[in-house]
Amino acid sequence: MKELFAQLYEQEYDRVFRLCRGYFSGNRVLAEDATQEVFVKIWDNLASYREEAKLTTWIYRIAINVCLMQVRKASYRKELHVLQIPDVTMDGVVDEDEIRLSKMYSCIQQLEEVNRAIILMILEGVEYSEMAEVTGIKEETLRVKIHRIKQSLTKCVKQ
Amino acid sequence: MRKTMNSFEDLENTWKNQNRLSPRKSAEDLINSAEAEIAGMKIKQRGTVLILSLTVAILLLYLVWMQAYRHAWFFTGLLIMIGMLAIRIVLEVVSYARFQRISPNKSTNAYCEEIIAYYHWRRSIHYIFTPIIYVSYVAAFVSLMPLFKANMSPGLYWYVLISGVIVFIGLALLIYHQIKKEMTILNSLKSSAQEHFYS
């Protein structure tokens, strides 16, 4: 089991981190804390994994559910109010991608929590059927939601 | 529509071009941290039950040592205190067991439903059982003060009185903060579930 966990940890850390970052308005420190907590839960529950769903589906569920609870901790709520400043390069020029990314995180933060999970999975290229299994929302309902969420995010980032 | 989709494609590309982050800790270190955290949570929960159980044991010993069963009022007062603590222990054990059964590997909808149900259960404890337990325990304690005074040395009596007041005030504050924290979580979860349902 340790080998399986080590493999998952290496393979999925980055993806889980990005998902967590989406829940914490792009804050890297909070996202790293939440990511650690996700993998603690993965380790704690790995023995009970019965292949009832794909492993990535299982991991996404844990990641989203952990983030849903972590954002409610008082300490996290205080930290979230800290303004995120995009990284500045050595010659003082702000990277455009970083600005767009910062805007994206800020706009994702404005979405309702489950919609946040949906858009983060879309951005990660997760299949609709897998998204339905992760969220527990029917695929048909999900498709309608996704169209609205994409429009909402694009509009927000353009502003 | 195409313009919108192109813009969303730009967002997808920006997302995918993020720098890859490697974990700071090794898998082995994380496993060790995880085991420590899980053990820590169990100790914390058992610690609460242990303290309550120790208090019950002390009260029972005192009851027997003082032969409180010879005096109806003394016996009743101590029995109420012991009974209230016993109920609290049962509620703590049941709460912990209920929380442990909630698995984070369920779908988001199912997980939210279970968490909300858990905090509804905690709300019924906070608003029904906790006030009854607290008030009954304090009332029984206060009613026994004359008997304590008659049977204890002045020093011990004042110690029991002053420490009792401090503990009751401290407990009231602790209970208040815990209730506030849990009800904030519940309200936030319900509001989020409401938004999700109607969006």
Hey, are the CB atoms on B196 and A10 less than 8 Å from each other?
A: no
Q: What percent of chain B has pLDDT over 70?
A: 94
Nearest Cα residue in chain B from A40: B34
Locate B138 and state its tokens.
């304090």
For the segment A7-32, what is each residue's pLDDT rounded down to a tens digit? 999 999 999 999 999 998 888 889 99
Position B38 scores a pLDDT of 86
Largest separation between any pair of C-alpha atoms in chain B: 89
Hey, are the CB atoms on A69 and B115 less than 8 Å from each other?
A: yes
Residues from chain A that touch B28, judged by Cβ atoms under 8 A, are 2, 6
Hey, are the CB atoms on B11 and A100 less than 8 Å from each other?
A: yes
Kindly report the nearest CA distance between residue B140 and chain A, in angstroms.
36
**pLDDT of B197 over the 80 cut:** no
Position B78 scores a pLDDT of 93
Nearest in space to A136 (alpha carbons), one of B107, B26, B9, B8: B107
Q: Give the CA dihedral A53, A56, A57, A59, nearest 10 degrees.
A: 110
**Strand (E) or helix (H) holding A54:** none
Residues from chain B that touch A72, judged by Cβ atoms under 8 A, are 184-185, 188-189
A35, A110, A115, B8, B16 from A119: Cα distances, Å: 18, 12, 6, 11, 13
The identity of residue A92, as a single letter, is G
Assessment of whether the complete model's pTM goes beyond 0.90? no
Nearest in space to A15 (alpha carbons), one of A110, A109, A123: A123
Q: Report, as an integer, the average pLDDT of B58-86.
A: 91
Hey, are the CB atoms on B104 and A62 less than 8 Å from each other?
A: yes
pLDDT tier at B52, thresholds 50, 70, 90: very high
- B8, B30, B184 member nearest A9 (Cβ): B30
Q: Chain-wide mean pLDDT for chain A? A: 85
Residues from chain A that touch B14, judged by Cβ atoms under 8 A, are 97, 100-101, 104
Between A93 and B94, the more confident residue is B94
Locate B19 and state its tokens.
């720098």
Which residues 6+ apart lie within 8 Å of B57 measured at CB?
A: none
For the segment B124-144, what is each residue's pLDDT rounded down to a tens digit? 999 999 999 999 999 999 999
Position B25 scores a pLDDT of 85
A94, A98, B21 from A90: Cα distances, Å: 9, 14, 21
Q: Report, as an integer, the average pLDDT of A46-67.
A: 90
Position A52 scores a pLDDT of 79
For the segment A77-129, what is each residue's pLDDT rounded down to a tens digit? 665 555 454 444 444 555 777 888 888 999 998 888 889 999 999 999 999 99
Locate B140 and state its tokens.
């029984």
**How big is chain A by its Cα radius of gyration, in Å?**
16
Q: Report, as an integer, the average pLDDT of B79-99.
A: 94
CA A157 to chain centre: 18
Locate B50 and state its tokens.
């242990």
Residues from chain B that touch A33, judged by Cβ atoms under 8 A, are none
Nearest in space to B102 (alpha carbons), one of B86, B89, B118: B118
